[in-house]
Amino acid sequence: MICEVNLINIYLEYRDLSMRSLDLSVDIAGLSLKTPLILASGILGLSGRLLAKISRAEGVGAVTTKSIGLKPRDGYPNPTIILLPYGLINSMGLPNPGAEAFLKELDEAEDLSSPLIASFYGYSVDEIVETARIIAKHPRVSALELNVSCPHVSGVYELGFKPELVAEAVSKVKKIIDKPLFVKLSPNTHLIVDVARAAAEAGADGLTAINTVKALAIDTELFRPILSGVYGGLSGPALKPIALRCVYEIYKEVDIPIVGCGGVSNSLDVVEFILAGASAVALGSVIAFKGVGVFRELAEGLSSYLERKGFRSVREIVGLSHR
């Protein structure tokens, strides 16, 4: 009896120790994250107060803002979103208050407790550079993410297909900012690896793969596309195998860190992305289904996985499937 109790105690102590030594923290492109889980751009990231609240939620490694442009943009009229059994199609149309107004928004992000990544876009290289110049100066911005891949706003969408344009934008932005720069890649091109390589060679510090896949839905009663912007971007579970393939391909060819993004809905999805080569993973559509509490759920699931497989940190499994 005594022996049995001792064994249980020893087991509990051992388990406590192993849980404590499990390290979910990651360093990516100069950012130190408590967990590899990042709030993806476009999800909830409009208000400084809400971003700060999410940054304090358990399991959150970093938060990304909605994409910010030089000038305010209303986005498209509704319907801007469609819920499907396998994901979402959205055509928000990049609504944002513009770079200058967004600085005031960030002033309200008090108690921010995880790094904030500011997503931004422009219709031309000049506009991209100007927007970066404005938002990078805010002390609460830890890193920038260049969105060259929004599938429902033409002008922004096409940039991401042109390796030389992306390279030009990246090198010009890097010259004027002293913060890490990520580039969010479009899956709507066969050139994704070329764009990734061009961004890396031009000085990008990290890559986010992928943005949504250009998609469409039609109302069969009314015989018309449902979204007012006609085309939207498909996200959610349907996207995951495509996103995973992109991360895997990019990891083989490009040396800078990758944030995996696309259809993560459980902790094994997170593991898959990391095994494919992602150093961190961004969550988006899953928040529609599970709320912000999903960060904690996935962080715990990731811990259990590492423990079960005998790993001590996330870093040990990055790209492990490339053997």
Partner 1 sequence: MLDRHRRRIVRIVRRVDECLDTVSLYMHNPFSSDPIPGQFTMIWIPGVDEIPLSISYMDSCILGVTVRGVGEATRILCSLQPGDTIGVRGPLGRGFTIVKGRSLVVGGGVGVAPLRYLIYRLIDVGVDTYVVFGFRDKLHTIYLEEMEKLSVEGRIKLCIATEDGSYGFKATAYDIASRILDESFDMVYVCGPEELIRRILVLCVEKDLPMEASIEGYMKCGMGVCGSCVRGAYLVCRDGPVFDRDKLLEIGEIGLRRRRASGTIEPLL
Contact status: 228 vs partner 1 (CB under 8 A): yes
Q: Is 142 in the site for partner 1 (CB under 8 A)?
A: no
* Terminal Cα distance for the chain, rounded: 48
Stretch that binds partner 1, among 14-22, 68-76, 143-151, 266-274 (CB under 8 A): 68-76
Is 88 a residue that touches partner 1 (CB under 8 A)? yes
Does residue 191 interact with partner 1 by CB under 8 A? no
Structure tokens at 263: 């259809």
237 cis-preceded (ω within 30 degrees of 0): no
Q: Report yes or no: 285 and 251 within 8 Å, Cβ to Cβ.
A: no
Classify strands 37-39 and 258-261 as parallel, antiparallel or unpaired: unpaired
90 is an interface residue for partner 1 by CB under 8 A: yes
**Where do we find the tokens 């990290």?**
206
DSSP code of residue 73: B
Residue 41 is given by DSSP the state: T
Minimum distance from CB of 153 to partner 1 (Å)?
A: 14
**Interaction pattern, residues 278-297, with partner 1; x per rule: CB under 8 A:** ------xx-xxx-x------
Helix H or strand E encompassing 301: helix 294-308
Annotate 189-205 with b (16+ C-beta within 10 A) or e (fewer).
bebbbbbbbbbbebebb
Asked if 110 is part of the footprint of partner 1 (rule: CB under 8 A), the reply reads no
Provide CB contacts within 8 A for 286, sequence distance 6+. Answer: 236, 264, 265, 294
Is residue 47 within the footprint of partner 1 (CB under 8 A)?
A: yes
The answer to whether residue 58 forms part of the interface with partner 1 (CB under 8 A) is: no
Decide: is 231 part of the binding site for partner 1 (CB under 8 A): no
Q: Is 52 in the site for partner 1 (CB under 8 A)?
A: yes
Pick the binder of partner 1 from 9, 14, 19, 104 (CB under 8 A). Answer: 104
Which listed residue (226, 230, 242, 320) binds partner 1 by CB under 8 A?
226
Residues binding partner 1: number (CB under 8 A): 45
Please identify, using beta-carbon distances, which residue of 7 and 84 lies nearer to partner 1: 84
49 is an interface residue for partner 1 by CB under 8 A: yes
Alpha carbon distance 232, 81 (integer Å): 8
Taking CB under 8 A as the rule, does residue 57 contact partner 1?
no
| Binding status of residue 79 toward partner 1 by CB under 8 A | yes
To the nearest whole angstrom, how small is the minimum distance from the Cβ of residue 285 to partner 1?
7
Residue 150 falls in the annotated catalytic set: yes
- Say if strands 81-84 and 62-64 run parallel, antiparallel, or are unpaired: unpaired
Check binding of 97 to partner 1 (CB under 8 A): yes
Q: How many CA atoms lie within 13 A of 212 on its CB side?
A: 29
Do the Cβ atoms of 228 and 76 come closer than 8 Å? yes
- Is-contact 199 253, C-beta < 8 A? no
Least CB distance to partner 1 at residue 46 (A): 4
What is the set of active-site residues?
A: 150
Would you tell me which residues interact with partner 1 (CB under 8 A)? 42-47, 49-50, 52-53, 66, 72-75, 77-81, 83-85, 88, 90, 92, 95-98, 101, 104-105, 219, 221-222, 224, 226, 228, 284-285, 287-289, 291
